[in-house]
Amino acid sequence: MRHFSIILLFVIASPLLFAQGSFSGGLELNSEFYQRDTSIGASNTPHYNNLLSSTDAWLNLDYRNYKHQLEAGIRLDVFNNSNLHDPGTPYTALGIGRFYLRKTFNNLTITGGYFYDQFGSGITFRSYQDRALGIDNATLGLHLEYDFLKNWTVKAFTGMQKNRLKPFRSFVSLYNPIIKGLNAEGSITLSEDISLLPGGSVVNRTLDQNSMNFIVNTIESYDEEDRFVPKYNTFAYSLYNRLNIGNVSWYIEGARKTSEAIYNADQKLVNRPGSVVYSTLTYSQRGLGAGLKFKRTEDFVFRTSPNEKLLDGMISYVPPVSKQNSLRLPARYVAATQELEELAGSGNITYTPKKGYTINAAYSEVRAFDYEELFREIYADLELNTSRKWKGLIGGQYIDYDQVFYEGKGASMVHAFSPFLEFNYNIDRRKSIRMEFQQQFTEQDYGDWVYGLVEFSIAPYFTVSVSDMYNYDPNPPTSTEKQHYYSFTTSFVYQRHRLSLSYTKQVEGVICTGGVCRYEPAFNGFKLRLTSSF
């Protein structure tokens, strides 16, 4: 890796060789400054007791030469007492977090180094990053992509999944198991209004000896009737297709995984195969859109090894079915994707009866295989945009959420109703003001909440906002005191640079993005954000 980095830096620094190319890059920096607040539980961790600050930063440089169809890139990752990967536990490392070389020869593209990719909807393989959740499971290896015939592509790769930079070291640690994959997909036009987009994939994971030894030792500690012989190789494969007929689009994907050692709900290794069926059906025309989703997941745990849990070593990604909410209180309870068993369905509709009025409604439900309800959401809103000066949003959400199942704590079922209102007013062409008001009524978890926000903007340079999330009717024993969770944020944009500074007081909870969730402890302090591109 060291030699490859030296060669890459030499190539990037050679203006004579790459005179017809172009450079681009960017910096993303997040710093947090911690202030103890025992009233909300923001205390008794190294960050609050001793360290007082943390920084996460990513600096990347990319080069593209269109004449020679060549790309190269390198990224420096910096983590100083980071609170990102394992909240509450400081993590320090600095080094090359990603590098790659990509060359295209006619219809063949070869990538060496770290790469990101996805097969189908990601059920058999998804290599991606989500920095908000501390995820960067890039694959280090060789990736080939070949376009053949007309509208058909074949992709193949082999490599190892990135873990993270080793603490206090300058190089990346990898998960030792080897991953190999093959994917083919294309497009078939049957008529002017009918087309097919079929595809298929197969992914193989081969365990290393250390991982196998750990599994064997665990199994040997069980009673004889619970023992089994684990396998080094596991295969996951899928077939998928999107059918477009006029205004209707239907996507369906079925995936299977061969038997392997996985942890069941009782945290005991068992030898089981896995399966997923995922489908979406959408209809759209001017003024009307509707969609349905369905998902059935059974024992589809596919990681670099069964020794990895939570967000570590994820090879597959099973898409969520429930609605992804952005408003603060309606987003408090989210159904995280389940790997062992899940029956999920949802429907949504968007209707514009006349210009300036749009109605949105959605329903989603998640159940176990015995049809026990785990999650249900009923959502509706009305968007108003009848004037150039202002626009508004009014709506409400009802949630049933099995907190014990999803979080392992609290009430067996949280019932919450959350009405909300948002208003945007354009003072002139550059100045605007935005206001949010949300309320959440529940007799479980923390009890009742109210949230308010006022934001003033001078486009495109300056924004300042003030918000308060107030637990005005706390529910013992989760919360016994009324608490304000304030936030003051200001941001400034100059050309390609954006700087923001905020004081934030945040309640503990589960943060989810795209069905992938992680626990966030309570926070009190300042946050500095800088993004820059060139």
Tens of pLDDT along 142-176? 999 999 888 999 999 999 999 887 776 667 789 99
Tally: H helices and E strands in the chain: 4, 32
| Cβ–Cβ < 8 Å for 184, 197 | no
181 within a domain of the structure (yes/no): yes
Checking if the pLDDT of 233 tops 90, the result is: yes
Closest CA to 416 of 402, 405, 404: 402
Within a domain: 307: yes
Q: Is 178 exposed, middle or buried (0-12, 13-18, 19+ CB in 10 A)?
A: middle
Q: What is the mean pLDDT of residues 472-486?
A: 87
Q: Which domain holds residue 277?
A: 151-317
Q: Establish if 346 belongs to a structural domain.
A: no
pLDDT at 16 over 50: no
Give the list of residues 6+ apart from residue 105 with CB closer than 8 angstroms, or none: 69
- Strand partners for 473: 448
pLDDT tens per residue across span 253-298:
999 999 999 999 889 999 999 999 999 999 999 999 999 999 999 9
Residue 343 has pLDDT above 90, yes or no: yes
With a CB cutoff of 8 Å and minimum separation 6, the contacts of 65 are 18, 20, 21, 22, 71
CB 139 within 8 A of CB 117: yes
pLDDT of residue 179: 97
- Asked, for residue 304, whether it belongs to a domain, the answer is yes
Q: Which residue, 408, 400, 319, 397, is CA-closest to 366?
A: 400
> CB 502: neighbour CB atoms within 10 A?
16
Q: Which parts of 401-496 fold into alpha helices (H)?
A: 403-407
Question: In the structure encoding, which two tokens stand for residue 204, read together?
Answer: 């193989």
How far apart CA 352 and CA 7 sit, in angstroms, is: 57
Identify the helix (H) or strand (E) that includes residue 46. Answer: helix 46-46
Q: How many beta carbons lie within 10 A of that of residue 168, not counting itself?
A: 9
pLDDT exceeds 80 at position 110: yes
pLDDT winner (highest mean) among 5-14, 425-434, 502-511, 514-523: 425-434
**Residue 209 located in a structural domain:** yes
Measured distance CA(234)–CA(273) in Å, rounded = 9
Task: Assign 427 a pLDDT band (cuts: 50, 70, 90).
Answer: very high
Q: Phi and psi for 411 in degrees, rounded to 5?
A: -75, 155
Does a structural domain hold residue 475? no
Distance CA(62)–CA(389), nearest Å, equals 42
Residues belonging to the chain: 534
> Residues 327-354: what's their mean pLDDT?
93
Looking at the DSSP assignment, which residues form a beta bridge with residue 140? 114, 160
- C-alpha to C-alpha distance for 146 and 107, rounded to whole angstroms: 6
pLDDT band at residue 5 under the 50/70/90 scheme = low
pLDDT at res. 6 = 46
Is 145 part of a structural domain of the chain? no
Residue 221, in any domain of the structure: yes
Provide the CB-side half-sphere exposure for 310 (13 A, CA).
Answer: 11
Split into its structural domains, the chain has a count of 1
Cβ-proximal residues to 302 (8 Å cutoff; 6+ apart), any chain:
124, 203, 205, 234, 236, 257, 274, 314, 315, 316
Residue 441 sits at the vertex; the CA angle it makes with 333 and 516, to the nearest 5 degrees, is: 5
Closest residue by Cα to residue 330 from 410, 422, 423: 422
Q: pLDDT for 293-324, tens place per residue?
A: 999 999 999 999 998 888 889 999 999 999 88
